[in-house]
Amino acid sequence: MSHSTYGRMWAVAQGTLENLLEEELPSTPPRPRKDRLLVFQGLATFYVKYLQILRSLEAVYDQMVHPQKRRVVRHVLDGVMGRLLELKNEMVELEFSEFHYYDDVLQDLKLTPGDLEVPIPRYFVSEKLRVLREREKLLAHILARGGHLEPELDVQVRTMSLEEAVRLVQVCERARQGRLRARFMREIRREEEKDRLGRVRNTSTMSQDEAATRIQKVWLGYRARKRTTKERMEEMVFLGMVPPPQQVRQSATQVRALQVESTRRLVQEQHEDEFQRALVSVKESVWAVDAPDMRETMQEQIRQWFLECRDATGKFPDFPSADEGGSAAIFAQKTPEQVAAELAAKEEEKEKRRKNKGKKDKKPGKEKKDKSKEKRGKGRGRKDADPEEEEKGWKMPPSNFLPTVVEGTKAYKEVWSGRDESQNFTQRFDAQLVRDEKRAEVEEEVRVQVDELMRQELKNLKIAVDRVKEKKKKKGKKGSKKKKKKGKKSSKKKKRKEKDQTADRSIESLYEELVLEGFLIKPMNVKLSEYIGEYSYLATTLRQADIEPMPSLSDVRQLIALYGILPLGSQAVHERAPLVKTMLLAGPSGVGKKMLVHALCTETGANLFNLSPGNLAGKYPGRSGLQYLLHVVFKVARLLQPSVIWIGDAEKTFYKKVPKQEKELEPKRLKKDLPKLLKSIKPEDRVLIVGTTRRPFDADLKTFCKVYRKIILIPRPDYASRLTLWKHLLQEHGGKLTAALDLSSLAKVTDGYTQGHILQAVRAVLSQRRVGQQRRRPLSALEFIPALARQDPVYKEEEEAFKAWYSKTPMGKKRARAAKTSEEEGEPGKGREKGGKGKPRGKEGKGKTKKKKMKKKKTKK
């Protein structure tokens, strides 16, 4: 697409964002709302709208070439990402559930479930591609030097006697001879059949017209059958009953689009380099040309201010300190006369305070009485106070990211919305904007220098004209000494807290040690989009019927993007968004927990540390060894952030009772140190601890949930997810989807099987030989049944055990309490649907209102 296309996309996104800001920041603050359903509906609408804005802004930032425009887009993009996370956090606290469903919102906004996919900004990886490549080379070099190359397959070699070896060779030789004889006999039969057909043709007596008629009949029948099958297949594909034919190669337009995107990224880099060089050169020119004039004008203004203040007050004023802003604070939207008047008023107030210091209050009791009266008055006036103070309900909490979004939209309006870019065909930087920006920077730097000179000049003027003596330096020295001593004490305390055990070692040596010991591993190149799963179309209906649905794989994918990828990818988002330090992925084996951990690292370019109990066994023994290891891991993770610390089989760290066969491995080594390390993770540290478990019920729930605050329950795939998974895996492994392959039946039969089971079945059936035979013998669903029958599915008992365990977690308990209270009190949203807008229904409602009126009359009396 062209530059103008992305410019229009940016304008549309900014327009929708402005409309959304008007709804979020109304002129009059909204009253608290009590209807939980309406609150959730509003939050969900905001969430979906921000998601669409994020998608368009991400595409614009990835392909826009203008360096100054990209900075404004990036500023707004980070703000929108952060606001999205804030809204998700509010929905979780409101609904007491990590999973939410937006069918009503999608229908209102005329969107599809695919629009709910959280877009992952590509700049997370593209802007640090060089660093990631260097890190990969370093990791490969360390592994090669340490002899830790790719793990070889464990091939079991079976020894055999001479007789067994001879017998095996004989069997193979007889089989070879049998195959040769069968091929020879097949050729003989083929030659005999050819001779027979030749004799039949020679003996046939058919006229020319009869032969032509027969040929026409065969040809017309063949053509009609071919046309009919083609039309039938097109109809079945259109109805969605048959998968579309596979495209082995990409179309020319797709290839061209990819080429254009890659060339635009190259142009981005060139324009960015030009812009960075221009920042340096323009600043140097401003220093050389404009700085002397700035210095002279500033000095003249400050001297004029000295004289005007002396004329107004009779003495020279005090110069503002650097913390107060220096001379910039003097001339900030004020004339020297106004400043002098303010200084005179301040001095008069100081003199009055000095006089009143010596006087003591003669009647302190009166003041107390007055205060008590005021308090009483306040208490009485509460009924007449604002109704918002008395009202209880949900209010939107203050946002950390809305000011950022407002600032970005303001910059777009003032600078870029009405700017004429018709002459800037190549979309290079705007030199005038760079000059204005650098001029402001140079002015600040010059002002600091001028302030130092003018402070000394003012000091000399006070000594010479006003004959003001300098203050005694002894007191200042004492104070400075005290301050220094205090500072030393605080620094000592900090040193005690932040003791560095590896201060004498470089980060490269620590990195190498962790790689060689197997704690820092190379993540697999897996993207989050490869985690196949469909949207749950029945979830909203089930939740409306007070049945808690199992989340779909699409919901899991969204949570991984929201809680893991977006905060880890952006420093600005991680510092101000709701902080997620730990995350637990719980589910049966084969649902893709490890794949999601590797996808987290791939999408953000994060380092992957493996602190699983099995990996810790036998390494760095003792208490001191473990503390040293954790110190090194967290130090490297912070310095080379973003980082993901993976703890596989996380339940073993919090075992209720350690099994006998695992006591030697010491699986509970991290139990005491892990909660302490979580406290040391700050918002500026892009470090995420991810635990994976397939048996969470073996762990002590209380301590387990204290460490892992965000728990994501990953279920087995439902029918829709299994259907898409079969299609994807078959195509990936070279299988051809034909009408003979009944995918719907396969998806139904594999109810209870996980993604890992289906993948093993596909690999077992689609061998290289079977892939080559597909033209003669298409794939059928029956071929996959034996491979599936050899595996154990996830039974309902296991799934119910996961549900029961999750109901005992803090989030599950809150959800259950909320359900109980809603049943007892009655949902406000449901009552309004039947009885009108919040009005009491029937005789019971009238009785309640009468009782309330009687109570109010009694209180008034």
Per DSSP (E only), the strands in 500-579 are 520-521
Task: Give residue 293's region: left, alpha or beta (phi > 0; psi -120 to 50).
Answer: alpha
- Tokens linked to 833: 């649907």
CA distances from 560 to 44, 367, 482, 542, 713 (A): 18, 60, 52, 24, 12
Range in 199-203, 262-266, 323-327, 445-449 with the lowest mean pLDDT: 199-203
**For 316-416, where are the alpha helices, taking DSSP H only?**
327-330, 336-358, 364-380, 387-390, 402-411
| pLDDT of res. 836 | 40
- 383 CB contacts (<8 Å, ≥6 apart)? none
pLDDT for 460 equals 83
pTM here? Answer: 0.78
Higher pLDDT, 341 or 280: 280
Residue pair 648/518 in contact (Cβ under 8 Å)? The answer is no
What sign does the CA torsion over 511, 512, 516, 522 have? positive
Peptide bond into 30 cis (omega under 30): no
With beta carbons less than 8 A apart as the criterion, state whether 532 and 95 touch: no
Tell me the per-residue pLDDT of 565-604, one tens digit each, with 9 for 90 and over.
999 999 899 998 898 999 999 999 989 999 999 999 999 9
Q: What is the mean pLDDT of residues 52-69?
A: 90
Position 855 scores a pLDDT of 45
**Residue type at 34 in one-letter notation:** K
The span from the CA of 140 to the CA of 152, in Å, is 16
Q: In angstroms, rounded to a whole number, what is the distance separating the alpha carbons of residues 14 and 7?
A: 11
Per-residue pLDDT, averaged over 172-201, amounts to 88
CA–CA distance, 580 with 655 (Å, rounded to integer)? 24
Secondary structure of residue 797 in the 3-state scheme: helix
- Which of 691, 726, 703 minimizes the C-alpha distance to 654? 703
As given in the structure block, the two tokens for residue 169 are 């060779």
Helix (H, G, I), strand (E, B) or coil at 190: helix
Query: Residue 318 gets which letter from DSSP?
Result: P
Q: Helices in 605-732 by DSSP H: which ranges?
A: 613-616, 622-639, 673-680, 701-707, 719-732
- CB-CB contact of 72 with 411 (8 Å): yes
Question: In the structure, what pLDDT confidence band is assigned to residue 667 with cuts at 50, 70 and 90?
Answer: confident
- How far apart are alpha carbons 269 and 275 in whole angstroms? 10
Q: What is the mean pLDDT of the chain?
A: 81
Tokens describing residue 483:
């301050």
User: Which of these, 627, 640, 408, lies nearest to 506 by C-alpha position?
Assistant: 640
Contact 340, 317 (CB under 8 A): yes
Strand order from edge to edge, sheet including 710-713:
520-521, 607-610, 643-648, 687-693, 582-586, 710-713
d(CA 804, CA 185): 66
Which of 737, 729, 697, 733 has its CA nearest to residue 713? 697
pLDDT digit string (tens) for 199-257? Answer: 776 666 778 888 899 899 999 999 999 999 999 888 888 887 776 766 556 678 888 88
Query: CA 278 to CA 263: how far, in whole Å?
Result: 23
Q: Tell me what percent of the residues of the chain surpass a pLDDT of 90.
A: 21
In the prediction, which pLDDT does 357 show?
Answer: 58
pLDDT band at 46 (very low <50, low <70, confident <90, very high): very high
Q: Does residue 163 surpass a pLDDT of 60?
A: yes
Alpha-carbon span 305 to 316, nearest angstrom:
9
Compare 181 and 382 and report the one with higher pLDDT. 181
Distance in angstroms (rounded) separating the CA atoms of residues 532 and 552: 11
Given this model, what pLDDT does residue 146 score? 67
Dist CA 216 CA 570 (whole Å): 70
Q: pLDDT at residue 495 above 50? A: no
